[in-house]
Structure 1
């Protein structure tokens, strides 16, 4: 009986007991990735340029001078100040032209002075002749008043003398006006010829001054490649050079920048104040800090190419003696880190 009662109690307890279902816990959220691991670098290539630079050209001179001989050229890489001598050209022909023009100018100056004095003398002589003719006319008119007391023949003679004197005065008056105009015209021609020689003299002197090239700003000299002796290279003393060609460039090495092309997918990285690192291809171990300056507002593409890009300028924040214009460089743009919680 006791065993039966124990079995019934055990069955009761088993029926009243509820099985507890197993609980599956949700996975813990992933830890946020470090911001520097999410940073995306943009790499572009460009060319180093100077912020302040100036090209010095072979001078453009007046006259029939197709080529000029270089007599002096400053060495490549020389540091200069504003106003320092850069190059000189042979000025022998220009000096001969200036000397000849000055001689002709002085000669025409003497001719003008001589012509002016001659005109004054001629004018005074004509004025004296006119006064004499006017005096003869006055005398003839005075003789006409004696007509009543003179014979008929003398009266007719006096009338004839008066008529001749009147015509002579009128002729001299007209002739003097024509002579004055002709003398003034001849003097003007000589004065114009004198002024023409003055212009030629000043032009020759201007050509001589242009043959001496000076630095327009302080900086470093970089010689340009020009066509010489059927090849491209730096100019040398004694070369025959043609006007209008670039001779040297002067740039300020303390302020340099990199001009590069940025593709449309990467233009979002160009925000004000973004930092970048410049690596020179010629000096792989050299890294320079830079910051974004500005970019073109509109993308452009090459002829027949569907790929468009923006032109961007990065200012190099640190100077270095290795920085020279036209060096190729790679720029690593580091976009600004987005704030915590912002969508990546």
Structure 2
């Protein structure tokens, strides 16, 4: 039976005995059957050859392509390349006014002051607006008490002046009596012709005695009047002292209401309260001279940073910068170097010999989210080149004293020497050896492919 389904031939009848034997003709296979057999054989042979030789080669190529594609690469591109130095520090305002608790001029200047009113931190205030007020009830009562002392002092002056007027009149009467006695003695002396020599001497002595008594009385009265003036002056000085005391407290009372000296943003300061560091608020006690509030101009903000003294020579006033804020990472604002410190300063927690130079970087873009006391970082542009070919520094290898890169060529990487120019922390300018658009490996291909194997 044929595998191709050829119909089976029917059996021939047996020939009669004695008859000549005739051989039957052999059946011929169709030509189409041979062609199909050869086709099957060819297909099977091709499959065997593909399985034995072609498939392993294709799998090796696919594995190699996968290994090459797994190596991280970056393209060479053209653009602006800048070398920058980062400066970190808090933000602050270039224009601000510090509001401190008043230092009282009165004798009771050392006592604590209680904030009766304090503007909310972050509020925009206008010039002349009330921003803080200190409780003045105790001081007002004290001023009233001093007023009573002044009235008593004035009454003492009036009383003593009246008493001195009476004493002065008595002293004047004493002088008049002494003058009358002197006049009497002089008249009696003029009538001494009829008297004896002894009487005349007695009358003369009486005149001299009356004259001396008058002079002494006048001197005593003068001294007494001077004493009166001194007593009055003492009482007047006491009164003036009370008046000055009151006037000083009245001046202090005016300072208990504080008004904004400029338009700006109110920034309440921090303090220790019960072992915790927090914002000063209404009802807290402040000491005279204590800073508790600032009014800043939010349109003129800056970053107060420091740079190592070894990098200070790279900075120049006017250099451009890009500023970022930790609190608002989406912001990227423009700025410039405003000032550079003339002297280096040491830090509190650093060794004495480690010195940093203060640098101030101002915001040239105004944003309402920029407020004082935010942590910021400014990338100051030291050098900048435009339209230069550049590649990632991670792709550069230092081999045998030369800079080399591995350039992708199909499914392979080609080692190539390059010449580099300006560089920053992430990229470097390509002077020769590469063209824009070429891909370079960020990892050494031999190491990467060996790891994949």
TM-score (norm 1): 0.80
Structure 1 segment 74-223 matched on structure 2, within 5 A: 74-150=119-195, 158-159=203-204, 161-223=206-268
* Cα-to-partner distance string for 1:203-261 (whole Å, 9 max, x where unaligned): 22233223222223321111111123443222333334433332211111111111111
Aligned counterparts of 2:193 and 2:285: Cα–Cα separation in 1: 97
1:21: which partner in 2? none
Aligned counterparts of 1:318 and 1:41: Cα–Cα separation in 2: 19
8 Å contact from structure 2 (residues 95, 300) kept in 1: yes
* Cα-to-partner distance string for 1:30-55 (whole Å, 9 max, x where unaligned): xxx96833x31222212111001122
Aligned counterparts of 1:234 and 1:129: Cα–Cα separation in 2: 77
Name the count of aligned residue pairs.
309
8 Å contact from structure 1 (residues 269, 333) kept in 2: no
2:376: which partner in 1? 329
8 Å contact from structure 1 (residues 71, 90) kept in 2: yes
Q: Secondary structure at the match of 2:168?
A: helix
8 Å contact from structure 2 (residues 317, 340) kept in 1: no
Can you give the 5+ residue segments of structure 1 that lack an aligned partner in the other structure? 1-32
Aligned-residue Cα RMSD (Å) equals: 2.8
8 Å contact from structure 2 (residues 337, 361) kept in 1: yes
Aligned counterparts of 2:143 and 2:365: Cα–Cα separation in 1: 51
> How far is 1:264 from its partner?
3.7
2:323: which partner in 1? 278
8 Å contact from structure 1 (residues 221, 250) kept in 2: yes
2:303: which partner in 1? 258
Aligned counterparts of 1:339 and 1:319: Cα–Cα separation in 2: 27
> How far is 1:301 from its partner?
3.7
8 Å contact from structure 1 (residues 228, 241) kept in 2: no
* Cα-to-partner distance string for 1:123-156 (whole Å, 9 max, x where unaligned): 3442343133223212211210101124678757
Can you give the 5+ residue segments of structure 2 that lack an aligned partner in the other structure? 1-76, 388-420, 423-453
Comparing both structures, which one devotes a greater share of its residues to strand? 2
1:312: which partner in 2? 359
Aligned counterparts of 1:275 and 1:259: Cα–Cα separation in 2: 16
Farther-moved stretch of structure 1 (213-222 vs 122-131): 122-131
Aligned counterparts of 2:101 and 2:109: Cα–Cα separation in 1: 15
Aligned counterparts of 2:109 and 2:320: Cα–Cα separation in 1: 55
Q: Secondary structure at the match of 1:40?
A: strand
8 Å contact from structure 2 (residues 305, 360) kept in 1: yes
8 Å contact from structure 1 (residues 274, 336) kept in 2: no
Higher RCO, Cα 8 Å, sep 6+: 1
8 Å contact from structure 2 (residues 109, 288) kept in 1: no
